[in-house]
């Protein structure tokens, strides 16, 4: 695969070196981590520019909370929250922008506003046309595994072999995207930590993440401050930074190409130290 990926805004994702840090910017009032909530355009832009200053390689903007128990919002409301932030950020920055949405209408408007990548937590199940859109617009596409929908996904999820099931699901979704015309190097796979999964499932997916990196696509680990960390450490959401860093280090050891985080500066330091040490092995 090509390691330097050209994106619609003219910017590039460079996978030829250390793993990339994706900064979570929630344009919401109800995301599961209170420290990540940005209810106004100004608040979201301030946080996005700070993340860029702190070394983020990509900004991930989302306007619909997908925490466990969350309900859908309509496309008009999602666009109202999201589009001014994309436009405001793009006016001052060339950093790659991904948009966390599962709606074709929102994805189209986001790309029009200057986004580069669609981060689809439904892996094309909600809007199969997102694959064709990304192919036509030469955008990147992140495909994530989840079981069920956010409002019910934590209602007794069960797997016989979570790593095999998630790997097979993601491979099928990636092949669907490729058939629609999305180049392999522009597809990124995310196992969906916390999305319809028990603590033991999340641990297995992180510990055996190399099974997903072996599928031959770029990969993303998104576990920042999630519930399983609290269940193991006893820490509240606000106190899960150390656990997040530890779990992300393990994901890097297993080949993650990108980590999605709330705490950009700390994640950038993790990546720098991890790869400095790796070169000594």
If you search the block for the tokens 């990196």, which residue do you land on? 213
d(CA 52, CA 75): 28
User: Do 22 and 258 touch, CB atoms closer than 8 A?
Assistant: yes
User: Would you state the structure tokens that stand for residue 157, as one six-digit string?
Assistant: 């999820």
Indicate if 103 belongs to the active site.
no
If you search the block for the tokens 């892996």, which residue do you land on? 123
User: Do 259 and 271 touch, CB atoms closer than 8 A?
Assistant: yes
Indicate if 260 belongs to the active site.
yes
Task: Give the active site residue among 79, 81, 197, 260.
Answer: 260
d(CA 171, CA 117): 19
User: Would you state the structure tokens that stand for residue 126, as one six-digit string?
Assistant: 């909600």
User: Would you state the structure tokens that stand for residue 96, as one six-digit string?
Assistant: 């790659």
Q: Is the dihedral of CA 172, 176, 181, 186 positive or negative?
A: negative
User: DSSP code of 237?
Assistant: G
d(CA 19, CA 117): 17
CA dist list (Å): 156 to 41, 145, 196, 199: 37, 17, 8, 12
First-to-last alpha carbon distance for the chain, in angstroms, is: 25
d(CA 251, CA 222): 10
Task: Give the active site residue among 226, 227, 240, 254.
Answer: 226
Catalytic residue ranges: 226, 260
């Amino acid at each position: 695969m090509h390691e330097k990926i050209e994106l619609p805004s003219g910017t590039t994702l460079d996978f030829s070196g250390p793993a990339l840090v994706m900064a979570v910017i929630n344009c919401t009032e109800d995301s599961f981590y209170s420290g990540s909530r940005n209810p106004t355009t100004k608040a979201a832009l301030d946080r996005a520019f700070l993340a860029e200053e702190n070394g983020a390689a990509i900004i991930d903007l989302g306007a619909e909370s997908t925490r466990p128990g969350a309900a859908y919002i309509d496309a008009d409301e999602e666009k109202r929250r999201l589009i001014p932030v994309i436009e405001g950020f793009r006016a001052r920055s060339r950093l790659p922008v991904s948009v966390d949405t599962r709606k074709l209408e929102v994805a189209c408007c986001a790309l029009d506003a200057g986004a580069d990548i669609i981060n689809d937590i439904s892996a094309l199940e909600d809007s199969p046309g997102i694959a064709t859109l990304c192919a036509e617009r030469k955008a990147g596409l992140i495909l994530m595994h989840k079981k069920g929908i956010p409002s019910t996904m934590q209602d007794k999820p069960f797997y016989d072999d979570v790593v095999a099931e998630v790997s097979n699901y993601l491979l099928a979704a990636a092949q669907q995207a490729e058939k629609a015309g999305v180049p392999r190097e522009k597809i990124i796979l995310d196992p969906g930590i916390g999305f319809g999964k028990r603590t033991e499932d999340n641990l297995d997916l992180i510990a055996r993440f190399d099974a997903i990196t072996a599928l031959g696509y770029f990969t993303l680990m998104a576990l920042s401050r999630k519930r399983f960390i609290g269940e193991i450490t006893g820490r509240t959401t606000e106190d899960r930074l150390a656990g997040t860093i530890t779990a992300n280090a393990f994901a890097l050891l297993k080949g993650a190409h990108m980590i999605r985080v709330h705490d950009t500066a700390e994640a950038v330091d993790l990546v720098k130290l991890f790869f400095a040490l790796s070169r000594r092995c």
